[in-house]
Structure 1
Amino acid sequence: MKKSTRSPLFHEPSFSFSWLPEEILLNCLARVSRSQYRSISSLSKTFYYVLSSPAIYAARSQIGTTEPRLYICCESLSTATTTRSHGWYNLMSLRNCDERIEQGRDAFISEDGREIKIKSELMRLVPVKNSSFHLCARLKEANLAVGSEIYQIGGINKKGRRSRSVCVLDCRSHTQRRAPKMRVARESAKACVLDGNIYVMGGCSENKECWGEVFDLKTQTWDEELPLPSPSGEDVFDCIFEVLVLGAKIYVITEHNKYAYDPKEGTWLLLDTGFAGLKSILELGIVWCVVDNIVFKEFSDDLFWYDLSCGKWLVVEGLEDLLWDAKVNCRYRMIQLVNYGGKLVIVWVVLPDVIYRRSKPPVIPEERTWFAVIRLEKHLTSSGLAISGEIEQLNYLVHGSYNPLTCLSVSL
């Protein structure tokens, strides 16, 4: 009898990836992009179990494979009750939800007739499943992304009063919890994170002794012994101000002065010189953020960065004929600039003009919310440091009755 020449692999069961020990399987899957998790979870119960456990996120954080993900807070209008509510949504591309979805346009025509290739696709808003979390979303609250969580601090409660509450959304499991309350009720406060602490400032009427508070993320407690006093003896509570972190210090920019806070020393310093140009971030309608210790802002259809060495705003190169043509030459409303894992995300709403027709009702086109992901690159020139930008992705969603308010980037 002639022996078979076929490989033993044809006679024995093939190797299964799920046979690996859980620790090794966890380490392998933690290196795969989260955009593939939905497809992988459907392969076996083992994959579904591993990818649904909190351990996968701990492994991703440990080996440094976390990815940024955008969450957006929207105001929605109920047509039945004509009431407005606020809630958080995960921003996802329809490609990740359904491979059959046809992608958006891949090109825009610039003013000089050139066709500009940009990868664009339609996005969708996926609501946070835990409906009780929507009750925590309040007006005039301070929103802050810390790792994989979103902190909502203070704001206006149902009775129209300032709130001491702190709600935390875990974006890994879409569950929420209440953190310890602040010492002082606040609305429209400013918040930032530095060296494992959240600093909340302002929004508390005239309580100068507790103008700011410090929250320890590790112990989940508010520092009772060291409340942050007002940066000056003057009354700054009625002033417009912004808070930003540059290096190891926190900077407070007001209409009148500029201050720096050193957490190690626990003292405020009045800045007599420098940072003069940063006052422009206080102007109405200006959106800004910090990426890699550089301040960026959008103004008059251009993207600028702030050069600390000379105190001037300089234009980000490479976007002049690209980004703003993508706005389809319509009116728009800027929402936010977001630090997206070292890249820059610009969020804006296109406000198309009403189309009037003779003897017919006017046509009101739907608004679109656009998200541009920009890769930033520094380079030296004969005149000094320059920064250029390149659009990696251009996404949009037709939001209908949703009114986007703020956008944050978390790490998952």
Structure 2
Amino acid sequence: MKNSTTSPPPPPSFSSLPDEIIVSCLARVSKSQYGSLSLVSMSFHSLLSSPEIYAARSQIGAEEPRLYLCCDILSTATTRSHRWYNLRTLDDEIIKKGRNAFISVNGAEIKMKTELRLVPVKNSSFHLCDRSEEAKLVFGSDIYQIGGINRNNKRSRSVCVLDCRSHTQRRGPKMKVARQRAKACVLDGRIYVMGGCSEKECWGEVFDVKSQTWKKELLLPSPSGDFKFDCKFEVLALGGRIYVITERNNYAYDPKQGRWLLLDTGFVGLKRILELGTVWCVLDNIVFMEFCDDLFWYDVSCGKWLIVEGLEDLCYTKVNCRYRMVQLVNYGGGKVVIVWLVLPQPVVMRNKQRVIPEEKTCFAVVRLEKRLTSSGLTIWGEIEQLSFSLVHGSYKPLTCLSVSL
């Protein structure tokens, strides 16, 4: 009589687990790995793009900042369009085969990763005759593009939303009034939009994201008779208020009280962002701006701009080249990203032929730290990562935004 042997049962596979357990596991994996994981199976691909996994990432605090770059593209000799590109986050782009580059500054080497990948977002291209000069901002995982110019070269009421989870676009509810070159900011689950309309309709409006409605009872009054939203101004959210910085005065709108306040001299220095026409952003209720190769922060207590210490390396990387500032981005986690376009000088070869090197879009991740000294509060910065992507001919970077995913 032969002894019958039975094979041991195969170990359970990962895909045999309940979806909720798989989602909990995958939510802890860096999003930079999702592209490879989505190739495992159709079910993985579906889970990795589902609302459930993003909800799980948010719940356990695993969200990561992702950079999106809007570029102006010259498609033909007469046709231009805008398109969104997704950039791999600056701390997870893998460069293989020793292709890392280094910049020597004052004897120290700064690591610069080459050829940061620009991944085009599908169906995100639009011709300038359709949409341009719109306000752009981030709310949650969505990029809102508000107003602009329509096909008839007139102000637009339209709202276009780019879902950065699924990379799909949708139309949002239209504004109450058409706007071009409006300013917008986010505060307490609402999007505040001001300016860009005719002088007769000189007011702002508010979009409640939860209810997806432009609520008429939330219309913003004009701050005073001498101020018009069609003048040069900037809008920012700071400390629970909406601040409007104009060339003449500074105003604050308190949503709880529903009224405008004329600010005292403590905010006078904020006019510098208008006078200099420079890039700026708000991080942790502090306004930062870039000017003349340096990073500054605004001290409300004394009404002055103070330099961010410790960023001499950043100055040296830009001082010897022609460049155009693109954006100063709130990267979250006490960090900002400085984005600039390097415009290289033509190089004359031995045969007297002029060669123009390719332009580069540079990205510097700066970690900021507050320090209390005997002389008061100071802010120090440290370059965590310096990367660039090549700009091929007709691609010009316009706007850079950070989205948590």
Superposition TM-score, scaled by structure 2 size: 0.92
Separation of aligned partners in 2, 1:52 and 1:177: 17
Name 2:336's counterpart in structure 1.
Answer: 344
Separation of aligned partners in 1, 2:61 and 2:389: 30
| 8 Å contact kept, 2:81–2:126 | no
Separation of aligned partners in 1, 2:97 and 2:163: 29
Is residue 360 of structure 2 the alignment partner of residue 360 of structure 1? no
Query: What is the aligned length?
Result: 399
> What are the residue-to-residue correspondences of 1:113-132 with 2, within 5 Å?
114-131=107-124
Deviation at 1:53? 2.1
Separation of aligned partners in 2, 1:48 and 1:100: 26
Residues 238 and 47 (structure 1), Cα distance of their counterparts in 2 relative to 1, 3 Å cut: closer
Is residue 327 of structure 2 the alignment partner of residue 331 of structure 1? no
Residue type of the alignment partner of 2:183:
K
Name 1:84's counterpart in structure 2.
Answer: 80
Name 1:220's counterpart in structure 2.
Answer: 212
Separation of aligned partners in 1, 2:251 and 2:93: 47
| 8 Å contact kept, 2:194–2:229 | no
Separation of aligned partners in 1, 2:92 and 2:250: 45
SS of equivalent to 2:370: strand
Separation of aligned partners in 2, 1:94 and 1:192: 25
Residues 128 and 403 (structure 1), Cα distance of their counterparts in 2 relative to 1, 3 Å cut: same
Deviation at 1:124? 2.2
1:357-394 residue CA offsets vs partner (Å, 9 max, x unmatched) = 57633111111000111111111111111111111111
Q: CA RMSD in A?
A: 2.4
Residue type of the alignment partner of 2:383:
I
| 8 Å contact kept, 2:82–2:126 | no
1:263-301 residue CA offsets vs partner (Å, 9 max, x unmatched) = 011100011321111110102441000000011000111
Name 1:108's counterpart in structure 2.
Answer: 103
Separation of aligned partners in 2, 1:55 and 1:395: 32
Which residue of 146, 151, 155 corresponds with 2:144? 151
Separation of aligned partners in 1, 2:315 and 2:272: 21
Name 2:381's counterpart in structure 1.
Answer: 389
1:190-215 residue CA offsets vs partner (Å, 9 max, x unmatched) = 0001011100001112035x510000
Separation of aligned partners in 1, 2:342 and 2:159: 33
Residues 261 and 45 (structure 1), Cα distance of their counterparts in 2 relative to 1, 3 Å cut: same
Deviation at 1:178? 0.7
Separation of aligned partners in 1, 2:299 and 2:254: 21
Which residue of 245, 250, 257 corresponds with 1:253? 245
Separation of aligned partners in 1, 2:43 and 2:84: 30
Residue type of the alignment partner of 2:299:
D
Deviation at 1:54? 2.5
* More displaced stretch, 51-60 vs 86-95: 86-95
| 8 Å contact kept, 2:370–2:380 | yes
Separation of aligned partners in 2, 1:403 and 1:348: 11
Name 2:261's counterpart in structure 1.
Answer: 269
| 8 Å contact kept, 2:80–2:127 | no
> What are the residue-to-residue correspondences of 1:8-407 with 2, within 5 Å?
11-79=8-76, 81-92=77-88, 100=96, 103-105=99-101, 107-110=102-105, 112=106, 114-131=107-124, 138-208=131-201, 210-320=202-312, 322-327=313-318, 329-342=320-333, 343-357=335-349, 360-400=352-392, 401-407=394-400
SS of equivalent to 2:88: strand
| 8 Å contact kept, 1:73–1:404 | yes
Residues 48 and 357 (structure 1), Cα distance of their counterparts in 2 relative to 1, 3 Å cut: closer
Deviation at 1:94? 11
Separation of aligned partners in 2, 1:252 and 1:170: 29
Percent identity of equivalent pairs: 68
Deviation at 1:12? 4.2
Residues 328 and 311 (structure 1), Cα distance of their counterparts in 2 relative to 1, 3 Å cut: closer
* More displaced stretch, 323-332 vs 352-361: 352-361
Point out where structure 1 has 5 or more consecutive residues left out of the alignment: 1-7
Deviation at 1:91? 1.3
Name 1:4's counterpart in structure 2.
Answer: none
Residue type of the alignment partner of 2:35:
R
Deviation at 1:101? 6.6
SS of equivalent to 1:281: helix
